[in-house]
Amino acid sequence: MNRLTTAVGLTALATGVVALASVADAASLSVSVKPFGTMPDGQAVQMYRLENSNGMEVDVITYGGAVQSIKVPDKNGKIDDVALGFDNLDGYLHTDTYFGALIGRYGNRIAKGEFALDGKTYHLPINNGPNSLHGGTTGFDKRVWAASKIETPNAVGVELTLFSQDGDMGYPGDLAVTVQYTLDNDNDLRVHYSAVTDKPTDLNLTNHTYFNLAGAGNGAVLDQVAMINADKITPVDSTLIPTGKMMDVAGTDLGFTTPTPIGAHIHADNQQLKYAEPKQGGYDFNYVFDNPGDLNALAASVTDPQSGRTVEMYTDQPGVQFYTSNFVHDVHGKDGKIYPHWGGFTLEAQHFPDSPNQPSFPSTELKPGEKYSQTTIYKFLPTNLPS
């Protein structure tokens, strides 16, 4: 079987979708596509726009499979874009913030860029201090994904596929990945990931959207109120690699089991907050869900009291990286807006960092014949129509 046949076969397997259901409810849901730019090597990049009947609009670009914008109404029906991003491809090519991107093969850090599988040690690019971050120097966030529309009676979306060859960024196995973003009239932005491999490998996919519910570029997110349904985090060392232990955080400066403004304890004298952001403090931790794997349980939510906008997250993953954009410093983003320090937060549903080197963490190994599957839903409230 040649490489192309393998890729097509693997992709069909990964998708598990033979024919996508008919036509979306044309009156309220729509998906459209337009050019977004051209890569230095001439590849075209497209933007898919998903729209629903509540005035919600999500733009996804095929570069990095990135969510480029999420427009949602506030309590008065005023629409604003709550996702950090760039107006054009150039911004994405020249800034390493991972705005909105799909992250792979391994979201988060792998210590010293090394892991062993079946007695063989694999070496990954070192691109973050002594460690490998987000799949290496040319992770899935820097690839152009193949794309097609999804139109079903209840949702519209875009299906993205990527074929990652054996040895890509040091990881073993030919890997076929499919990611479906869909939007419905309940304001659910659903991200479904699937993948298959032909050799044992490690995989941890996620999405890296930075949210600011007051509108991207409208200041910092410190007044926005977060709830994360997790009593514990996996504490880290100074290079943000887990120590392998669990830390109880409920009721501490690190905990969000009761809704708490993001900025309430961010400057506290706490070693973990300082590892995440040495000068002023920040959150950049893997929270371990109390109800892992339960797609019906509220995993996390953030509310902006001013606008009344809320994002809720539901996921079947065991953890979430809650990151307060500590490395973002006055980035020039969309519509001439500037994204300040703490100008966004991420809710990266995922397996724990450095799992291949941490025997006590849930495994991230994917074997031939198995199918990687993840579903994460970002639900936006209120769902009222703009007046």
For residue 41, the minimal CB distance to ligand GAL (Å) is: 25
For residue 316, the minimal CB distance to ligand GAL (Å) is: 19
- Please say which residue, 165 or 239, places its beta carbon nearer to ligand GAL: 239
Residue 310 CA to residue 178 CA, distance in Å, equals 28
Catalytic residue among 51, 151, 312, 348: 348
> 348 catalytic, yes or no?
yes
For residue 238, the minimal CB distance to ligand GAL (Å) is: 12
Helix, strand, coil abundance in the chain, percent, nearest 5: 10, 40, 50
Q: How many helices (H) and strands (E) does the chain have?
A: 3, 30
For residue 92, the minimal CB distance to ligand GAL (Å) is: 14
Residue 38 CA to residue 148 CA, distance in Å, equals 18
Which residue reads 């291949």 in tokens? 356
Closest Cα to residue 63, out of 109, 95, 31, 19? 95
Residue 331, judged by CB atoms within 10 A of its CB (0-12, 13-18, 19+), counts as buried
Two tokens at 361? 């963490």
- Please say which residue, 65 or 73, places its beta carbon nearer to ligand GAL: 65
Residue 345 CA to residue 78 CA, distance in Å, equals 21
Q: How would you classify the pairing of strands 260-261 and 232-233?
A: unpaired
Residue 133 CA to residue 111 CA, distance in Å, equals 9
For residue 343, the minimal CB distance to ligand GAL (Å) is: 13
In sequence order, which residues have a C-beta less than 8 Å from that of residue 130 and are 6 or more positions away? 111, 112, 113, 239
Catalytic residue among 134, 192, 208, 341: 208
For residue 192, the minimal CB distance to ligand GAL (Å) is: 20
Whole-Å CA distances, 145 to 13, 28, 115, 176, 325: 17, 27, 27, 11, 25
Q: Which residues bind ligand GAL (CB under 6 A)?
A: 97-98, 133, 240, 284, 321, 323, 327, 348
Per-residue DSSP letter, 154:
S
Alpha helices by DSSP H, the chain: 3-15, 89-94, 271-276
**Any idea which residues carry the catalytic annotation?**
208, 348
